[in-house]
Amino acid sequence: MQLKLLADESLDFRIVTDLMHEGFETISVLKDYRGISDKEVMNLAKKFKSILITEDSDFGEWVFAHKEKDISVIFLRYRHEDIKEISSSLIKIIKKYNVELYGKFIVITVKKIRIREL
């Protein structure tokens, strides 16, 4: 199984560019599906069997409060001056765990990485 990524509209495009440069199959909501709702973004992630990468905390609510099923999310929390460090951490995590990231909710900050089974 090949890893697929769905970059949410909120994701800084420098990170999207880094992912593509590393050769990851990455679909950009900003580029290809601009303006769709969060629910539609989740449906796209399911349709394409991809891991959603976002900076939008609302997806945590969808997953945990609304019990959204069959979704994998990487949530990035950082200050803009830390973007290079966050992008690097994201790429390292994806390379290390690859398809093992499916079925997880992952939070990446400058100081820690938390992986939670869904």
Q: What is the per-residue pLDDT for 3?
A: 93
CA distance 38 to 56: 9
- What is the number of structural domains in the chain? 1
What residue numbers bound the domain in which 104 lies?
4-117
Q: What is the per-residue pLDDT for 66?
A: 79
- CATH number of residue 67's parent domain: 3.40.50
Global model pTM greater than 0.85: yes
Residue 43 · residue 8 · CB < 8 Å: no
Along the 118 residues of the chain, how does pLDDT read in single tens digits? 689 999 999 999 999 999 999 999 999 999 999 999 999 999 999 999 999 999 999 999 888 887 878 899 999 999 999 999 999 999 999 999 999 999 999 999 999 999 999 8
* Strand 113-117 relative to strand 104-108, pairing: antiparallel
Give the count of alpha carbons within 13 A of 89, CB side only.
Answer: 20
Q: What is the per-residue pLDDT for 13?
A: 95
Q: What is the per-residue pLDDT for 11?
A: 95
Q: What is the per-residue pLDDT for 82?
A: 96
Q: What is the per-residue pLDDT for 79?
A: 93
25, containing H or E segment = strand 25-28
